[in-house]
């Protein structure tokens, strides 16, 4: 289970079909989502800078750093990465992985350089897909630029690159809470070995379950800030566990105690 945060221009966003609505700043997020607790309900956190205008990279790095202080789970950060140094700064700020999208179209050589320096397991490729006239089309630049290749051709291009995961996202289902578009999975290459994260449309735990039941899917994601607010993510995970899905089980009390012990040890060492 993966939780995706969309960030732009100083605020976290709610997205519906890639149309953004401002929700709240970092303080709003921390007030409504206790990440020291939520960390036990998800397996990974993805933070994407989806700014449509000029990005404030320094502010985004501060956001990554702030959230990593409360999360012990892996964090992937993406949005507008176009250089090795930019990727380094994301990782130095606390991210464990980087998420790329437009580089597939603009600079595949840089993808090889990123993999050479950080390892292919560090790279997540986001693929944004929209259905037009019964054809699945691929979009980059935060959903603003349509690519000429069909989805199956685009995916075959990706699997030739040194990347660790594919984040397959339906723009049509995005933010609807009506469930994933599992039809996208039919376009995956038969030789695919790269793990697939299915995204776009999750609104309740049954949607997570439907995604995870598909043999092509390795993880499911949601970016909906309201459908899983409060204890929503915890409740969804517990129901999946009750249904027999093979997810990590945490002894929350014991894990928190151990984390506090290590945190105190780090403080004493720094002193």
pLDDT in tens, 199-215: 999 999 999 999 999 99
Output the pLDDT for position 32: 86
pLDDT in tens, 73-108: 899 999 999 999 999 999 999 999 999 999 999 999
Output the pLDDT for position 45: 95
Q: How confident is the model at residue 271 (pLDDT cuts 50, 70, 90)?
A: very low
Q: What pairing do the DSSP bridges indicate for beta strands 19-24 and 44-49?
A: unpaired
* Cβ neighbours, 10 Å, residue 101: 25
Q: Of 60-69, 163-172, 256-265, which gets the smallest average pLDDT? A: 256-265
CA atoms within 13 A on the CB side of 199: 27
Q: Of 2-16, 140-154, 185-199, 239-253, which gets the smallest average pLDDT? A: 239-253
Residue position matching structure tokens 């439907």: 210
Q: Are 48 and 18 in contact (CB under 8 A)?
A: no
Q: Please give the Cα distance from 81 to 28 (Å, whole number).
A: 26
Q: Are 141 and 102 in contact (CB under 8 A)?
A: yes
Q: Residue 233 is encoded by which pair of tokens?
A: 């993510």
DSSP assigned state of 234 = H
Its pTM surpasses 0.75:
yes
Nearest to 96 by CA among 122, 126, 61, 70: 122
Output the pLDDT for position 72: 82
Backbone angles phi, psi at 227, to 5 degrees: -65, -25
Structural domains in the chain, sorted by start: 2-246 (3.20.20.70)
Q: Report CA torsion sign: 166, 205, 60, 51.
A: positive
DSSP assigned state of 41 = T
Q: How confident is the model at residue 35 (pLDDT cuts 50, 70, 90)?
A: confident
pLDDT in tens, 184-197: 999 999 888 999 99
Q: Please give the Cα distance from 258 to 242 (Å, whole number).
A: 26
Mean pLDDT of the chain: 90
Output the pLDDT for position 231: 84
pLDDT in tens, 217-240: 999 999 998 888 878 898 999 999
Q: Are 232 and 202 in contact (CB under 8 A)?
A: no
Instruction: Say if residue 270's pLDDT is above 80.
Output: no
DSSP assigned state of 46 = E
Helix crossing, 232-242 with 205-212: angle to 10°?
50
CA 175 to chain centre: 14
Strand partners, 47: 5, 77
* Cβ neighbours, 10 Å, residue 19: 11
Contacting residues for 244 by C-beta, under 8 A, at least 6 apart: none
* Residues belonging to the active site: 128
Strand partners, 138: 129
Q: Are 126 and 169 in contact (CB under 8 A)?
A: yes
Nearest to 111 by CA among 101, 103, 102: 103
pLDDT in tens, 148-169: 999 999 999 999 999 999 999 9
């Amino acid at each position: 289970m993966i939780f995706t945060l969309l960030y732009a221009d100083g605020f976290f966003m709610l997205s519906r079909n890639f149309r953004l609505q401002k929700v709240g700043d970092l303080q709003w997020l921390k007030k409504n989502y206790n990440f020291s607790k939520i960390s036990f309900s998800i397996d990974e956190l993805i933070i994407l800078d989806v700014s449509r205008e000029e990005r404030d990279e320094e502010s985004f790095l501060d956001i990554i750093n702030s959230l990593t202080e409360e999360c012990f789970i892996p964090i992937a950060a993406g949005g507008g990465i176009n250089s090795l140094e930019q990727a380094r700064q994301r990782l130095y700020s606390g991210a464990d992985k980087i998420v790329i999208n437009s580089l597939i179209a603009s600079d595949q050589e840089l993808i090889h350089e990123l993999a050479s320096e950080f390892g292919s397991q560090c790279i997540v490729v986001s693929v944004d897909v929209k259905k037009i006239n019964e054809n699945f089309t691929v979009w980059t630049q935060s959903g603003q630029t349509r690519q000429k290749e069909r989805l199956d051709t685009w995916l075959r291009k990706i699997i030739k690159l040194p990347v660790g995961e594919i984040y397959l996202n339906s723009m049509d289902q995005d933010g609807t809470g009506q469930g994933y578009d599992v039809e996208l999975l039919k376009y995956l290459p038969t030789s695919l070995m790269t793990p697939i994260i299915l995204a776009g449309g999750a609104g309740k735990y049954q949607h997570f379950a439907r995604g995870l039941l598909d043999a092509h899917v390795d993880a499911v994601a949601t970016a909906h800030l309201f459908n899983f607010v409060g204890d929503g993510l915890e409740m969804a995970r517990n129901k999946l566990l009750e249904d027999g899905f093979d997810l990590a089980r945490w002894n929350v009390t014991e894990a928190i105690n151990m984390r506090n012990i290590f945190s105190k040890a780090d403080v004493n060492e720094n002193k």
